[in-house]
C-alpha cells in the first residue's frame, strides 16, 4: 500500500518540474547541480503524511529550479553541470534548528587556556576548596595581569560542587575580600544565577546605572559585591573587554561547519551585539556555511527597554504572513529576546514552580539548599528583573518576542497571563508568532491558552532524553511520573491543538538525528519510554526540524522544503529516514550537506567515491550524543 502511494506521489511530483523545465529552457539556463537516482523527501505539502517523494532535483543560482523525475531534472543539465548520482540514497530538506546557542558551542575549538565569554576573553574556572584557597588563586590571577585588566572567571569546587559554591551563595566572600587581593584589577566571578565583583568592577557599573536592579546590599545599604538579575548582565554588556572580530569570527566559523556536518543548514539563536558583530563580519566575507536567524538581546535585562526599542523600530515587525526581519538570506533578525529566560534551571531549583522543591533528592542534591526559596526564581514578579517592562515595550513597538527559555509550570502560567493582558491592548500580538522555547512542562490547559494567543513553540527532545537525572526526572519528583511523562515536551499535544511546533537541539553535541529519534520514541538515555501518548510520527518529526521550523525563522517561502524557487538547502543520508528502525534513527549519518547550492559538508569516504571536494568539518564526531550504550552507562553511574 505504501509503495503504491509513493509511486502515485512521484508521478504528481513531475508537474512542477515541467513548469520549471520550460521556463529554464526558454531562458537558456543550465543547472549548476543536478542530484538524481535518489529518494527525495520534499516536505512540499502542508500535510506531513502527503508530501512528494521525488527522484531528482536541479539547482540554479542557489535555488531549486526543478524537482521530479531523473529524466526531467537531467534535461536541465549542461556540460558544466555538477551531476551527483545518489544511488538510491535518501535526501531531506536542510534541517532548521530553532534554538541553539551556537556562539558558545565553539569553545572546544579555542586554544588551550583560552575562554571566550559574552564575546570577550575570560579566564579559566577556579578549582578551590575553601575561602582562603579561593582568594589565593584570585591573587595569583591578578599577578599575571596588568593593572586595569579584567579577571573574569567561574568557580569549580567548594561544598556545593558543580557551578554552585555554597560559600559564595551564602555571602561568605564579599567584594572587600576581593579588594584585598585584587586592588588594581576589576574582578567578576560568575556562577549559576549570580556573580561576585570587587570594587574596581562595581564602581563604574553604579556610576553609569545607579538604580540598576540586582545589586545585593547589606543591612546598612552598602553593596556587598554580589550581583544578580539585571546588574550581572549589564556588567557584561557594557564593561567586558572585547575580542577583535578577526580573532573571534574564525572560532564561530568552525562551529558552523560542525553543525553542517549534522545536516543543519539554518539555526536560530539569540545574540548579544558582540555575537552579531562577529557573524556579520563573517557574512561580509562570504564565510557563512550556515544560515543564522537571530533574536536580538537589545532589551534583555536592559535598564531602559523602551528607550532602546524606540530606536530599533523597523528592524523587525509585521503580523501574519507579512513579517520581516532585517538582514539577508544568510543572517537576519527574527525577533527580540526580550528576556533570555523567565525562570531558571529545574536541576538547580531555580525554575519557577507552583509546588515546592523537595529538599531531599538523590538525583538533584542542590535542592537541599534552596538558594532562591522553595519555588525557584520567578522573574516576572521579581524585583531583580525588568522582564515585564521589556515585554510591554516589545508589544508597544510591534516586535515579535523569541528565544525565550521557560522551564517551570508557574513561570509559563505567569507568561500566559502577561501575554493575555498585553493582547487586550495590542490585539495583533496573536498574529506576531511570539514564541515559547523548550516546552519543558506544558499541560493541556497551557496548550489551549497558547492556541488563543497564536504562540509558536520550539521544543527540546533532550529534556526527555535526560531521563531520571534530567528535566523529566525533576518533574517526576515534584508532580509524579504520570504528570511528568505527559507534560515534558508534549509534542503530540501541541500538534493536536494545531500549534506551530518545532524541535531544537539546544546543546552542543546533542545530535540532530537523536533529537528526531527521541521525538518519535520518547526514550531516554537508558531506553525507558516516557509518555508514549506524546510520540509523533517520523514524518511529523521531520517537519518540526524543517518545514515548520522555517515558520519560526520567518522564511517559510524560502526554506524548509525541496520545491522550485526555494533555497537549495538539502542533506543526503547514508540510511533511509523513513524505513530505518526507530531506535536507529540517531545512527543516520549525513554524507553531503548543501546550503544555497553550495556544498558545506562532505563525508570523506563519500566524497572520495563520488569525486567530490573534501569540504567542512573534519573533527572527531564520536563524542556527539547519539543514544549509544556508553551514554546510558554514564547516565546511570553513581
> DSSP per residue over 431-486, as a string?
GTT-EEEE-SS--HHHHHHHHHTT-EEEE-THHHHTGGGSHHHHHHHHH-HHHHHH
3-state helix, strand, coil in the chain (%, to 5): 40, 20, 40
Calculate the alpha carbon distances from 121 to 107, 192, 281, 327, 337 in Å: 11, 19, 18, 28, 24
Instruction: Examine the domain organization and report whether 215 and 342 are in the same domain.
Output: no
Residue 622 has pLDDT above 90, yes or no: no
Identify the top-confidence range among 155-164, 360-369, 522-531: 522-531
543, 50 Cβ separation under 8 angstroms: no
Same domain? 197 vs 256: no
pLDDT, tens digit, for every residue of 398-409?
A: 999 999 999 999
Q: What is the pLDDT of residue 23?
A: 47
pLDDT of 115 over the 70 cut = no
The answer to whether residue 130 is domain-embedded is yes
Rounded to an integer, what distance in angstroms lies between the CA atom of residue 40 and that of residue 70? 11
CATH of the domain at 433: 3.20.20.140
Same domain, 446 and 351: yes
Q: Is the residue at 317 inside a domain?
A: yes
* Domain extent for 206: 120-239
CATH of the domain at 592: 2.30.40.10
Assess if residue 636 is contained within a domain.
no
For residue 150, what are the CA distances in angstroms to 132, 183, 195, 242, 469?
A: 21, 12, 15, 11, 36
pLDDT of residue 15: 39
Long-range contacts of residues 323-326, Cβ cutoff 8 Å, at least 24 apart? 323/400, 323/432, 323/433, 323/554, 324/554, 325/293, 325/554
Nearest to 481 by CA among 506, 460, 464, 505: 464
Q: Is residue 379 part of a domain?
A: yes
Indicate the number of domains in the chain. 3
Query: In this structure, is the dihedral angle defined by the CA atoms of residues 404, 407, 408 and 409, taken in order, positive or negative?
Result: positive
Tell which of 530, 559, 588 closes a domain.
559
CA distance 613 to 603: 10
Q: Are strands 215-217 and 194-197 parallel, antiparallel or unpaired?
A: unpaired
Same domain, 252 and 233: no
Q: Are 36 and 77 in contact (CB under 8 A)?
A: no
The whole-angstrom separation of Cα 439 and Cα 101 is 17
Same domain, 378 and 409: yes
- Do 391 and 321 share a domain, yes or no? yes
The CA–CA distances, whole Å, from 353 to 23, 376, 379, 407 equal 58, 6, 12, 9
Residue 357's nearest CA partner among 449, 477, 457 is: 477
What is residue 359's predicted lDDT score, i.e. its pLDDT? 94
Pair 494, 604 in one domain: no
Q: Give the per-residue pLDDT at 266.
A: 98
pLDDT at 12: 36
**Does 320 reside within a domain?**
yes
Instruction: Give the percent of the chain with pLDDT over 70.
Output: 92
- 500: Cα within 13 Å, side-chain hemisphere: 27
Q: Please tell me the least confidently modeled range out of 132-146, 149-163, 175-189, 441-455.
A: 149-163
11-15, 101-105, 291-295, range with greatest mean pLDDT: 291-295
Please tell me the predicted confidence (pLDDT) of residue 160. 39
pLDDT, residue 305, reads 87
**CATH number of domain containing 224:** 3.10.310
Cβ burial 67-76 (10 Å sphere, 16+ → b, else e): bbbbebbbbb
Lowest mean pLDDT among 295-299, 329-333, 568-572: 295-299
- Whether residue 158 sits in one domain with residue 283: no
The residue with greater pLDDT, 571 or 118, is: 571
What's residue 456's pLDDT?
A: 97
* Locus of grid cell 535518501: 90
Length of the chain, in residues: 638
* pLDDT band per the 50, 70, 90 thresholds, residue 20: very low
Q: What is the mean pLDDT of residues 305-328?
A: 92
Closest residue by Cα to residue 235 from 278, 182, 194 = 194
Among 289-293, 516-520, 623-627, which stretch is predicted with the lowest mean pLDDT?
623-627
Residue 364: the pLDDT is: 92
**Is 632 among the domain residues?**
no
> Is residue 201 very low, low, confident or very high in pLDDT (cuts 50, 70, 90)?
very high
Of the pLDDT bands very low, low, confident and very high (cuts 50, 70, 90), residue 532 is very high
Mark whether 187 and 283 lie in a shared domain: no
Express each pLDDT in 578-619 by its tens digit.
Answer: 999 999 999 999 999 999 999 999 999 999 999 999 999 999
As beta bridge partners, residue 152 has: 188
Distance CA 430, CA 451 (A): 9
Whether the pLDDT of residue 9 is over 90: the answer is no
Residue 467 in grid coordinates: 531521563
253 in the same domain as 283: yes
pLDDT, position 191: 82
Same-domain status, 314 and 444: yes
Mean pLDDT of the chain: 90
Contact of 83 with 40, CB cutoff 8 Å:
no
The CA-atom distances, in angstroms, between 471 and each of 14, 70, 348 are 46, 47, 11
Using alpha carbons, select from 154, 43, 166 the residue that is nearest to residue 95: 43
pLDDT in tens, 338-394: 888 899 999 989 999 999 999 999 999 889 988 889 999 999 999 888 999 999 999
Radius of gyration of the chain from Cα atoms?
25
Q: Tell whether 171 is covered by a domain.
A: yes
Task: Identify the pLDDT of residue 154.
Answer: 82
Please report which helix (H) or strand (E) contains residue 231, including its range. Answer: helix 229-239
Residues whose CB falls within 8 Å of the CB of residue 288, separated by 6 or more in sequence, listed in order: 256, 279, 282, 330, 331
Alpha-carbon gap, residue 29 to 78, rounded angstroms: 9
Query: What is the average per-residue pLDDT within 231-247?
Result: 86
Question: Is 61 in the same domain as 90?
Answer: yes
Query: Which of 239, 269, 302 represents a domain boundary (last residue)?
Result: 239
Does residue 536 sit within a domain? yes
User: For residues 244 and 248, what is the distance between their CA atoms, to the nearest angstrom?
Assistant: 6
Residue at which a domain ends, from 514, 543, 559: 559
Band (16; pLDDT cuts 50, 70, 90): very low
Amino acid at each position: 500500500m505504501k509503495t503504491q502511494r509513493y509511486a502515485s506521489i512521484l508521478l504528481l511530483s513531475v508537474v512542477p518540474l515541467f513548469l520549471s523545465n520550460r521556463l529554464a529552457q526558454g531562458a537558456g539556463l543550465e543547472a549548476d547541480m543536478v542530484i538524481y537516482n535518489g529518494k527525495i523527501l520534499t516536505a512540499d505539502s502542508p500535510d506531513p503524511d502527503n508530501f512528494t517523494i521525488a527522484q531528482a532535483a536541479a539547482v540554479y543560482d542557489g535555488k531549486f529550479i526543478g524537482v521530479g523525475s531523473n529524466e526531467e531534472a537531467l534535461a536541465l543539465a549542461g556540460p558544466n553541470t555538477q551531476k551527483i548520482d545518489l544511488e538510491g540514497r535518501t535526501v531531506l530538506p536542510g534541517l532548521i534548528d530553532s534554538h541553539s546557542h551556537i556562539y558558545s558551542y565553539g569553545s572546544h575549538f579555542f586554544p588551550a587556556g583560552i575562554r571566550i565569554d559574552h564575546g570577550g576573553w575570560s579566564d579559566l574556572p577556579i578549582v578551590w576548596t575553601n575561602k582562603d584557597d579561593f582568594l589565593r588563586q584570585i591573587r595569583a590571577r591578578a599577578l599575571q595581569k596588568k593593572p586595569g585588566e579584567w579577571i573574569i572567571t567561574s568557580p569549580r569546587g567548594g561544598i556545593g560542587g558543580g557551578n554552585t559554591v555554597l560559600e559564595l551563595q551564602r555571602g561568605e566572600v564579599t567584594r572587600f575580600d576581593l579588594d584585598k587581593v585584587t586592588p588594581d584589577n576589576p574582578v567578576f566571578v560568575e556562577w549559576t544565577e549570580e556573580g561576585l565583583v570587587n570594587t574596581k568592577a562595581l564602581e563604574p557599573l553604579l556610576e553609569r546605572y545607579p538604580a540598576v536592579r540586582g545589586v545585593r546590599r547589606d543591612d546598612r545599604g552598602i553593596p556587598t559585591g554580589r550581583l544578580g538579575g539585571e546588574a550581572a548582565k549589564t556588567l557584561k554588556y557594557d564593561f567586558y573587554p572585547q575580542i577583535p572580530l578577526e580573532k573571534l569570527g574564525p572560532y564561530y566559523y568552525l562551529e558552523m561547519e560542525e553543525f553542517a556536518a549534522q545536516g543543519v543548514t539554518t539555526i536560530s539563536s539569540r545574540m548579544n551585539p558582540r555575537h552579531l558583530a562577529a557573524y556579520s563580519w563573517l557574512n561580509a566575507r562570504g564565510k557563512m556555511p550556515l544560515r543564522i536567524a537571530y533574536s536580538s538581546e537589545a532589551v534583555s535585562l536592559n535598564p531602559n527597554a523602551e528607550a532602546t526599542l524606540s530606536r530599533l523600530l523597523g528592524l523587525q515587525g509585521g503580523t501574519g504572513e507579512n513579517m520581516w526581519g532585517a538582514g539577508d538570506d544568510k543572517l537576519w533578525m527574527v525577533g527580540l529576546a526580550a528576556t533570555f529566560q523567565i525562570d531558571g534551571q529545574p536541576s538547580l531549583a531555580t525554575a519557577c514552580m507552583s509546588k515546592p522543591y523537595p529538599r531531599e533528592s538523590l538525583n538533584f542534591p542542590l535542592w537541599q539548599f534552596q538558594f532562591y526559596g522553595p519555588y525557584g526564581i520567578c522573574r516576572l514578579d521579581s524585583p531583580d528583573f525588568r522582564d515585564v517592562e521589556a515585554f510591554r515595550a516589545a508589544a508597544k513597538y510591534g516586535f515579535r518576542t523569541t528565544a525565550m527559555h521557560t522551564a517551570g509550570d508557574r513561570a509559563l502560567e505567569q507568561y500566559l497571563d502577561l501575554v493575555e493582558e498585553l493582547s487586550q491592548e495590542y490585539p495583533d500580538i496573536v498574529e506576531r508568532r511570539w514564541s515559547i522555547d523548550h516546552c519543558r512542562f506544558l499541560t493541556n490547559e497551557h496548550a489551549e491558552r497558547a492556541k488563543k494567543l497564536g504562540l509558536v513553540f520550539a521544543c527540546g527532545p533532550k529534556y526527555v532524553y535526560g531521563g531520571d537525572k534530567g528535566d523529566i526526572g525533576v518533574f517526576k519528583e515534584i508532580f509524579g511520573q504520570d504528570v511528568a511523562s505527559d507534560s515534558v515536551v508534549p509534542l503530540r499535544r501541541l500538534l493536536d491543538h494545531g500549534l506551530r511546533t518545532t524541535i531544537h537541539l539546544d546543546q552542543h553535541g546533542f545530535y540532530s538525528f537523536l533529537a528526531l529519534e527521541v521525538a518519535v520514541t520518547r526514550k531516554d538515555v537508558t531506553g525507558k519510554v516516557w509518555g508514549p501518548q506524546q510520540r509523533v510520527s517520523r514524518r511529523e518529526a521531520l517537519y518540526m526540524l524543517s518545514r515548520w521550523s522555517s515558520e519560526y525563522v520567518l522564511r517559510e517561502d524560502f526554506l524548509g522544503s525541496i520545491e522550485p524557487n526555494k533555497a537549495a538547502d538539502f542533506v543526503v543520508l547514508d540510511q533511509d529516514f523513513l524505513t530505518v528502525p526507530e531506535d536507529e534513527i540517531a545512527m543516520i549519518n549525513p554524507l553531503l550537506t548543501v546550503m544555497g547550492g553550495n556544498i558545506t559538508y562532505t563525508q570523506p569516504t563519500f566524497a572520495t567515491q563520488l569525486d567530490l571536494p573534501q569540504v567542512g568539518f573534519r573533527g572527531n564526531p564520536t563524542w556527539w550524543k547519539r543514544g549509544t550504550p556508553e551514554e546510558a552507562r554514564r547516565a546511570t553511574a553513581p
